[in-house]
Chain A
Amino acid sequence: GQQVQQSPASLVLQEGENAELQCNFSTSLNSMQWFYQRPEGSLVSLFYNPSGTKQSGRLTSTTVIKERRSSLHISSSQITDSGTYLCAMEEDNYAQGLTFGLGTRVSVFP
């Protein structure tokens, strides 16, 4: 089965609303990362977050390794936040690539 579960699969927001995206892992992990995929397909690294909380502008990532979960909080959403958010885990054996979730598609409307 899927080792990385993301929820919700999709999310519709009105501009200004906050959102919480979840990522759960079924195996032990070394660290995790969050990516943003633009509507045209390109990928942007948001957070490399082995544990704890990191903030960048309106985005906050929180990872709790022992609970095998991570979340991405978007505050005061903007239309330009629309796209797909992917989380990925790095298993204990580093450099064998990342295992990705299927993503959360976010649509922000005025």
Chain B
Amino acid sequence: EAAVTQSPRNKVTVTGGNVTLSCRQTNSHNYMYWYRQDTGHGLRLIHYSYGAGNLQIGDVPDGYKATRTTQEDFFLLLELASPSQTSLYFCASSDPWVNTGQLYFGEGSKLTVL
């Protein structure tokens, strides 16, 4: 069973604050993703990566940076957090050469920006 671990699980910050969400997967998947989930919009892709050092822009990248430091670790950075970034964030991993493209999600990180 693929394992994807996110931290922190809950975070409260103020407008203008600096937030880093962390994600680690332990199944040697090449692809990792960051999604946000909001009522009325469903899950939307922020950034994704094909491997260490690689970064691709998703559908809603504004206000977010990401970095893939190793095959296992993918970080999402909010350098000047705004209330519009209050959301439930999910990290996911997959690899078509390992598991036929099935997506495995972490437990989610709830971010509140006051």
Contact status A48-B100, CB under 8 Å:
yes
Say yes or no: is A83 at the interface (Cβ < 8 Å to chain B).
Answer: no
A-B pairs with CB below 8 Å: how many?
56
- Chain A residue nearest to B95 in the complex (CB): A95
For chain B, give the interface size range.
20 to 34
Chain A residues with CB under 8 A of B48: 95-97
Q: Does residue A31 face the partner (Cβ distance < 8 Å to B)? A: yes
Interface size on A, residues (CB 8 A): 21
In the complex with contacts A86-B43, A100-B43, A101-B42, A95-B50 CB distance below 8 A = yes
Q: Is the interface of B mostly helix, strand, loop or mixed?
A: strand
> Restricting to B80-114, which residues have a CB under 8 Å from any CB of A?
88, 90, 94, 96, 100-105, 107-108, 110
Closest 7 A-B residue pairs measured CB to CB?
A97-B45, A48-B102, A43-B105, A100-B43, A100-B42, A102-B42, A41-B108
Q: Write the residues of chain A forming the contact surface with B, with a CB cutoff of 8 angstroms.
A: 31, 33, 35, 41-45, 48, 86, 88, 90, 94-98, 100-103
